[in-house]
Amino acid sequence: MKITPFAVSAALAACALPASAASILISGVAGTNMVTMTLSGTAQVRSDDAIEPLTSAFFNNAIDMEFGDYMADASIQDVVATATGNMMISNGVTSTLIDGIFFDDDAFAPQTDDFGFRTSGSLSFVVGQDLAFSGSATLAYDITAFKPTSTRIASFDSTAIARDQLDLTVEVLPSPVPVSPALPMLGGGVALLAFLRRRKG
């Protein structure tokens, strides 16, 4: 059997992960004890289920997912962090606010650190339906609680609503450069000299 370049390309495409359509970005400056989470894009539902208003700090198969090794703080175990902002999840008919995020560092299996949404309203979804993610929110965690990484929801997590279609990225932002108090004074001195020169002229 002759193997053509086209056949090889087709085989590789069939084995590749689907292109990511939705993303979660966690970003922040170290030492500020505050991160921003931003959601964007859509992902196709992989299993029928429903989200009820959730506050539980336990893994919930309806909406919780296993990502790669993105947690750095092993003391974060089954915690729901308050999300202050306007992050939303929608099934095309109903939208609900995401006002909490479930974090769990799986120290015994770091490749499966857990992540999940906690919502203030109910939302149902069926296989093949698109879920849209949008908005941003702040959480009272330092960025050092997470590892700078880009990881995809684990493909073996069969209960995940958006298996193979949701990426999580952790980005450490640079600290702002403080402005020296001497700089404004220097600028004022230069302006004064220019003024005096104009008067002499």
User: Looking at the domain assignment, is residue 111 inside a domain?
Assistant: yes
* 159: phi then psi, degrees, rounded to nearest 5: -90, -10
The two structure tokens encoding residue 144: 């050092």
Is residue 72 in some structural domain?
Answer: yes
At 157-197, the pLDDT tens digits run 555 566 667 888 999 999 987 766 655 555 555 555 555 56
In a domain? residue 180: yes
Distances (CA, A) of 36 to 39, 83, 86, 129, 178: 10, 9, 11, 28, 22
Helix (H, G, I), strand (E, B) or coil at 17: coil
Residue 4 lies in a domain: no
| pLDDT at 21 (0 to 100) | 72
| pLDDT above 80 (res 134) | yes
Cα torsion 22, 53, 140, 70 to 10°: value is -40
Flag whether 5 is in a domain. no
Residue 8 domain flag: no
Residue 151 pLDDT class (50, 70, 90 cuts): confident
Whether 90 contacts 129, CB under 8 Å: no
pTM of the predicted model as reported, rounded to 2 decimal places? 0.75
pLDDT in the model for residue 12: 35
Domain total of the chain: 1
Burial class of residue 43 in the structure, from the number of CB atoms within 10 Å of its CB (0-12 exposed, 13-18 middle, 19+ buried): buried
Asked whether residue 12 is domain-assigned, the answer is no
pLDDT digits (tens, 9 = 90+) for 45-94: 877 777 767 777 777 765 677 777 899 999 999 999 999 999 999 988 88
User: In this model, does residue 6 exceed pLDDT 60?
Assistant: no
**Is 144 contained in some domain?**
yes
Q: Is 142 within 8 Å of 28 (Cβ atoms)?
A: yes
CB 55 within 8 A of CB 102: no
Residue 29, domain extent: 19-200
Average pLDDT over residues 131-149: 95
The pLDDT of residue 76: 92
pLDDT, residue 87, reads 96
Whether residue 14 is predicted with pLDDT greater than 50 in this model: the reply is no
Q: Residue 131, Cα to own-chain centre: how many angstroms?
A: 16
Sequence-distant (6+) residues with CB within 8 A of 188 are none
